[in-house]
Each structure stands twice: as C-alpha cells, then as structure tokens.
Amino acid sequence: MTGNNGSAVGRPRSLRADAQRNEDRVLEAAAAAFAREGAGASVKDIARAAGVGVGTLYRRFPSKELLIEAIYRHEVQRLCDSAPRLVATQPPVDALRTWMEHFIDFMTAKEAMADALRVVLTDDGEKMNTRALLTDAIAHLLAAGEGQSPAHAGVDARDVLMALGGISLMTSSEGRRDLATRLIDLLLHGIVKPCPGPSGR
C-alpha cells in the first residue's frame, strides 16, 4: 500500500541527516499547530515555528493533506519505536505502564486533530496498518524479559489495544486526563501477574 506521496505506508524514503532534522522539526511543529487550530492551521506559521522556510516545507510536503498524513505516520511510528526503548531501560511493568500513558497522549493529540485527519485518512488499509503496528508494540511489551513476562499467560495484545482505545474514548468524553491514569492502573491489575510473596509463591 502506498500513501498519496507514493511512498510505502510506514516506510518513508531515506533523507540526509540535516534534511531529516528539518523534517522532524516541521512535523513536531505541525502536529502542535493542527492540534491547536485544526485543519485551518497556517503553513507559514508552522514553517516559522520549525525554523525553516515555507519553500523548504512545500518542497517536502507540496500540500497540507500530505503534511497531515506525514504527521500521523510520524506520531504512530514514534509511539511504536518507543516500546523497545522502554523495555531496554525500565522494568517490564513500568515499561508497559509508561507506553500506555504515551498511547493515551497520542490518542488525545489525534482527537484534537480529528477534523484535519478526516480530510485525508479515509483509507481502511491505513487504519489496519496502524492497528497492526500498535499491536506489535504491545506484544513486544507483554513479552519483555524472557522468562519474566509481566503479563498473565494468554493476554492478547489486540485485546489490550482495544481496552486502551476504550480508556481513550472515556477520557476524551469526560475531558479528564487524570482519569486515564486511574483506568490504566485498573487495566494493569487485569494484565499483570501478581508479584510472588516472600516465600516465592
């Protein structure tokens, strides 16, 4: 599957290091702008916030629609890429909890950009690809630490993703980010194996 810019979904073409830095700054600035202002965000303001010229931005993203697509893919990839880093630097349960919090933040930003995203993200293949990437990231977290997986046997990464999606929807409808953390704690109680007592049982 390819996006509107002809590149494979989730597999952007390689860029020089300086060009990649510029693109990352543009995508971060654009994500913040669209989250605040929706589809009407100014491309000129985005370029200014990223510290690049408007011409530089348009050479990489000839239309606002392509920019919105790129933001979405960038944020999804960044979230998924964080899973192995968390596993490498935190205990398994802490890594899982941290990633879940990051997921809620991602969904909150996506909700803020909903109007802009609806303009371009109409492809079911895109949605399925995103779901597969997120499921793989959760599966990596659930399997963290060979022989010391934090999860009960049989916990399905797809079910965890669905539960997190439900938490995101509830948090959004209530307008309370703190509620998500409490619900994540409840979800973890159902996922994580209890720690053995002093006797090891």
Instruction: Determine the pLDDT at residue 154.
Output: 82
The class of domain 14-62 in CATH terms is: mainly alpha
**Inter-residue contact 101 to 184 (CB < 8 Å):** yes
Query: Rounded to an integer, what distance in angstroms lies between the CA atom of residue 104 and that of residue 109?
Result: 9
pLDDT at 46 over 90: yes
For 30, counting Cβ atoms within 10 Å of its Cβ (0-12 exposed, 13-18 middle, 19+ buried), the class is buried
Instruction: Determine the pLDDT at residue 2.
Output: 37
- Model confidence band, residue 195 (pLDDT cutoffs 50, 70, 90): low
Instruction: Determine the pLDDT at residue 198.
Output: 47
Give the residue ranges of DSSP H helices in 90-176: 92-112, 114-120, 124-142, 157-174
Q: What is the C-alpha end-to-end distance of the chain, expressed in Å? A: 50
pLDDT single digits (tens) 133-185:
999 999 999 988 655 667 887 889 999 999 999 999 888 888 788 899 999 99
Instruction: Determine the pLDDT at residue 5.
Output: 41
What does the domain layout of the chain look like in residue ranges? Answer: 14-62, 65-191
- Is 65-191 a domain of CATH 1.10.357.10? yes
Full-model pTM: 0.78
Could you give the count of Cα atoms lying within 13 Å of 195 in the half-sphere of its Cβ? 4
From residue 172, alpha-carbon distances to 150, 155, 159, 175 in Å are 28, 26, 20, 5
**Inter-residue contact 86 to 141 (CB < 8 Å):** yes
Average pLDDT of every residue of the chain: 82
Instruction: Determine the pLDDT at residue 121.
Output: 65
Query: Rounded to an integer, what distance in angstroms lies between the CA atom of residue 71 and that of residue 13?
Result: 15
Question: If you average pLDDT over residues 66-81, what whole number do you get?
Answer: 90
pLDDT single digits (tens) 86-139:
999 999 999 999 999 999 988 888 877 776 677 666 667 778 889 999 999 999
Instruction: Determine the pLDDT at residue 119.
Output: 64
Query: Rounded to an integer, what distance in angstroms lies between the CA atom of residue 145 and that of residue 1?
Result: 34
Instruction: Determine the pLDDT at residue 114.
Output: 73
